[in-house]
A and B are shown apart, each in its own frame.
Chain A
Amino acid sequence: MLRIFKADLHIHTCLSPCAELSMSPRAIVEAAGRQRLDVIAISDHNSCENALAVIRAAGEGGIKVLPGMEVTSREEVHVLALFEAIEAALALQDAVYAHLPGENDSQRLGLQVVVNEHHDVVGFNHRLLAGATELSVEQIADLIHGLNGLAIASHIDREAFGIIGQLGFIPEGLAFDALELSANTSREEAARRFPEHAGAAFIHSSDAHRPEEIGRTFTPLLLREPTTAEVRKAFRREEDRRILYREAAGCGARRQEGCCA
């Protein structure tokens, strides 16, 4: 039986240098619960070292946590990667780390805190997670698809780090599973601004860097169960699975303040 799953597929943790330290696994799960979200995805910049902790924090409490990552391409385009299994996310992380130069300056850019599900600090990530990888946007999409993940173009309505802002348009032959919009842009506005993508699967996600931002916008999905396989079907409108687009008024007019993301 199909039912509606409320999904926020783009959430940072305290591992992202630009996110608040209060973005602990438990705080994220609690905020998701308050917002009555059914599915969330953890997508830190160029790393997934906190994803398992959030999966564990959610436990059997009814919120499905998908492990993921927001990878920065060498063109400075953000690509969201979502996986079913942590192993696939970790495999992408290996590929990303092999092509991510630089060291974090925690004084200037922020701490990159690796935690467990109890918010005990396990360590600090010293890589330059705020930096760009040496991988092209095409290579990143190929890596994600090779690991059976979903590749989503992050916040295409934002000039900074959005693919259309950075590259003018989505290159021919680059197959994203969905295009993400921030809280500022409704699907109707997106179809007007990007007429060549009017038929694409648009999702809304919070890109939360603070607990109170979680669920500020979200995507209702009609699925049988909250898995990436089902989400993929919804993106492709297969077997009655689909994205339930909301009215423009529901998308919120609140300005999204950009930090590093």
Chain B
Amino acid sequence: MTVRDIVEALQLEVLGGDQGLDREVTGGYASDLLSDVIANSRAGDLWVSLQAHRNIIAVASLKELAGVVLVGGRAPDSETLAKAREEQVLLLGSRLPAFEVVGRLYALGLRGAG
């Protein structure tokens, strides 16, 4: 499943870094603590979070994540968007809360570790 498939299925907004849309998504991770994401996410995961600080881009890039879904309509500031463009990290947005987004991703067949 590519990120593009997920964007279409969940009607996500592409906020930045759209070069990554055809990348394969291999799993999912949900957390708002960036230290936890650094420790426990896996390359290829789609990361669901409401944390919109620009550090999310560095973490997604470091961990080679497929992209970040900002939930609850959280809007990234201009610095976060600029970083996403610079680091080519796919940044997506949903009006839905985290629980709903994760549930829909799971229903599409996406799985986390464990």
Contact = CB atoms under 8 A, between A and B. Distances in A.
Nearest to A165: B35
B26 interface: no
B53 A159 contact: no
Contacts, number: 35
Consensus secondary structure, chain A interface: loop
B37 A171 contact: no
A75 interface: yes
A168 interface: yes
Interface in B48-100: 51, 53-55, 58-59, 77
B33 interface: yes
A114 B38 CA distance: 41
Interface residues of A, number: 12
Given A136-B53, A159-B35, A168 B77 contact: no
Nearest to A170: B55
B34 interface: yes
Given A159-B33, A159-B35, A167 B77 contact: no
A169 B36 CA distance: 11
A137 B35 contact: no
Interface in B7-40: 32-38
A164 interface: yes
A166 interface: yes
B74 to A, nearest CB: 10
A76 B32 CA distance: 10
Contacts of A166: 32-35, 51
Contacts of B32: 76, 166
Contact of A164 (B35, B37, B77): B35
B34 to A, nearest CB: 3
A75 B51 contact: yes
A168 B54 contact: no
Interface in A146-160: 159
Contact of B37 (A75, A76, A136, A168): A168
Given A166-B35, A167-B53, A171-B54, 16 more contacts: A75-B51, A75-B53, A136-B53, A137-B53, A159-B35, A159-B36, A164-B35, A165-B33, A165-B35, A166-B32, A166-B34, A167-B55, A168-B34, A168-B35, A168-B37, A168-B59
5 contacts: A137-B53, A166-B33, A168-B58, A169-B55, A171-B54
